[in-house]
């Protein structure tokens, strides 16, 4: 005889009746995310398949090979981490630092400080080499610091999102080989949009994100590890202290064995494959040239309007322009006005540049002549009203 199960009474206090989600159309010209390519959004909307499905495993290999092309590397261990860019940032350090290792971090902006914070949590002996926010390191400065601190790892930001500075890389990898340390490079705001040549530059580990130059929503973080870094990982005296980001385990899933590690975000990898496919279809050289030419038109237009750019031209990122907020102008009020009245997002400053600059991104799908013209027209038409201290409601 069947018995009737008595269900527990449900607490209704947090139940909320909501309409289906509705979001406004935004043009994302801040430091990231940028707008995703519509074809990438279509790929994301496909019906999911299992993360051990043979078709998905084939897709994984395609993503890895396209990432190698985008980074210009032959690194065997190249994969998209499940997580945003900071996950892959942490993975580079978690896998290579052992307690007591000296890690030298080049700090010329906000994200150099984040690298230093992460390295300290893995009990590294963290040493800093610093430059003002808006400058880059020279080879003599880097070599002097390598001689002084004798680090196991040098960590640098190629494209500093907080300042708009692109760190010149020629010769730095050679110095790291000369002084027997690994080179970690942040390419979050450069990959896919600015020349990145990992093998030529002799970079040992690098990481990026999905939502900037690759024109995909946030959620995945490309990661790559070269042979010298693999050797250090294999020689560890202790397990990698972060299980989820342990590349020796992840490689069993992304490598030929395809051993289950975690449930991968299948649809995000659909989007990543489509984003990388589109980039390869355009060609890296054309993508780099598109970003550079659009940025140069944008810089010239801003300067014609009397605005001052924060970074010298030879160090500027084509993906992210930092503009000094004119004296006496409420920069945050102008940003809110653009967002609320025009649906356009630009970013404010971080750290020591908070309240001093705007950060304006033209990345991936958003880097077009039409968007450059749209931004310049808005600045020309609307900024004079703010120079007159006109305030607008948030």
361 domain-assigned: yes
State whether 250 and 315 are in the same domain.
no
Q: What is the mean pLDDT of residues 198-224?
A: 98
What's residue 258's pLDDT?
82
At how many degrees (to 10) do helices 266-282 and 284-304 cross? Answer: 80
Q: Does 211 share its domain with 353?
A: no
Which pLDDT score, from 0 to 100, does residue 394 have? 36
Given phi > 0 = left and psi -120 to 50 = alpha, else beta, which region is 119?
alpha
In a domain, 15, yes or no: no
Boundary residue ending a domain (250, 281, 312): 281
The domain in which residue 268 lies consists of 38-281
Among 259, 281, 303, where does a domain finish? 281
Q: Is 226 domain-assigned?
A: yes
DSSP letters, 13-69, are TT----PPP-----EE-SSSPPPPPHHHHHHHTSPP--TT-HHHHHHHHHHHHHHHH
Mean pLDDT of all residues belonging to the chain: 95
For the entire predicted model, the pTM comes to 0.94
Q: Would the pLDDT of 389 be above 70? A: no
State mean pLDDT over 32-47. Answer: 97
Percent of the chain with pLDDT over 70: 97
| pLDDT tens-digit map of 2-14 | 667 889 999 999 9
- The reply to whether 337 and 264 lie within a common domain is no
Last residue of a domain, one of 227, 259, 281: 281
Please state, in angstroms and as integers, the Cα–Cα distance from residue 52 to each residue in 36, 66, 262, 330, 393, following that order: 27, 20, 10, 53, 51
Q: What are the helix (H) ranges across the chain?
A: 38-44, 54-71, 85-96, 110-121, 139-149, 172-178, 198-201, 227-234, 247-254, 266-282, 284-304, 331-342, 369-387
Q: What is the model's pLDDT at position 346? A: 98
256-283 tens-digit pLDDT: 788 888 988 999 999 999 999 999 999 9
For residue 6, tell me if it sits in a domain.
no
Shared domain for 199 and 336, answered yes or no, is: no
pLDDT of residue 2: 63
* Whether the predicted pLDDT of 25 surpasses 70: yes
What was the pLDDT predicted at 392?
39
284-288 CB contacts, 8 Å cutoff, 24+ apart: 284/69, 284/70, 284/72, 284/192, 287/192, 287/193, 287/213, 288/193, 288/194, 288/195, 288/318
- Higher-pLDDT residue of 255 and 96 is 96
Same domain? 148 vs 58: yes
Tell me whether residue 22 is in a domain: no
> What is the structure's pLDDT at 257?
80
Q: Is residue 2 part of a domain?
A: no
* CATH code (residue 90): 3.40.640.10
Is the pLDDT confidence value at 284 over 50? yes
């Amino acid at each position: 005889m069947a018995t009737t199960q008595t269900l527990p009474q449900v607490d209704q206090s947090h139940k909320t009746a909501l309409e289906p989600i509705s979001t406004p159309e935004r043009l994302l010209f801040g430091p990231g995310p940028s707008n995703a390519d519509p074809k990438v959004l279509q790929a994301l909307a496909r019906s999911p398949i299992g993360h051990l499905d043979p078709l998905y495993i084939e897709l994984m290999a395609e993503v890895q090979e396209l990432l190698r092309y985008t980074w210009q590397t032959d690194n065997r261990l190249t994969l998209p981490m499940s997580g945003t860019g900071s996950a892959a940032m942490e993975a580079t350090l978690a896998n290579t630092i052992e307690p007591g290792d000296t890690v030298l971090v080049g700090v010329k902006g906000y994200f150099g400080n984040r690298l230093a914070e992460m390295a300290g949590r893995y009990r590294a002996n963290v040493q800093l080499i610093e430059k003002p926010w808006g400058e880059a390191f020279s080879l003599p400065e880097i070599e002097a610091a390598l001689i002084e601190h004798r680090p196991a790892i040098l960590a640098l930001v190629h494209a500093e999102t907080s300042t708009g500075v692109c760190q010149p890389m020629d010769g730095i990898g050679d110095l790291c080989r000369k002084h027997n340390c690994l080179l970690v490079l942040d390419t979050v705001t450069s990959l896919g949009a600015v020349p990145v040549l990992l093998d030529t530059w002799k970079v040992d580990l690098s990481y990026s994100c999905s939502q900037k130059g690759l024109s995909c929503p946030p959620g995945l973080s490309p990661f790559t590890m070269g042979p010298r870094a693999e050797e250090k990982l294999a020689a560890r005296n202790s397990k990698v202290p972060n299980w989820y980001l342990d590349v020796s385990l992840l490689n069993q899933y992304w490598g030929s064995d395809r051993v289950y590690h975690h449930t991968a975000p299948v649809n995000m990898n659909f989007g990543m494959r489509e984003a990388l496919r589109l980039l390869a279809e355009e060609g890296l050289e054309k993508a780099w040239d598109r970003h550079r030419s659009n940025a140069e038109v944008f810089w010239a237009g801003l300067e014609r309007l009397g605005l001052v750019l924060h970074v010298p031209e030879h160090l500027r990122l084509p993906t992210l322009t930092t503009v000094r907020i004119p004296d006496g102008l409420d920069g945050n009020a102008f940003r809110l006005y653009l967002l609320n009245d025009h649906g356009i997002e630009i970013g404010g400053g971080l750290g020591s540049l908070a309240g001093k600059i705007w950060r304006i991104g033209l990345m991936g799908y958003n880097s077009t002549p039409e968007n450059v013209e749209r931004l310049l027209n808005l600045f020309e038409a609307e900024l004079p009203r703010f120079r007159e201290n006109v305030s607008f409601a948030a």
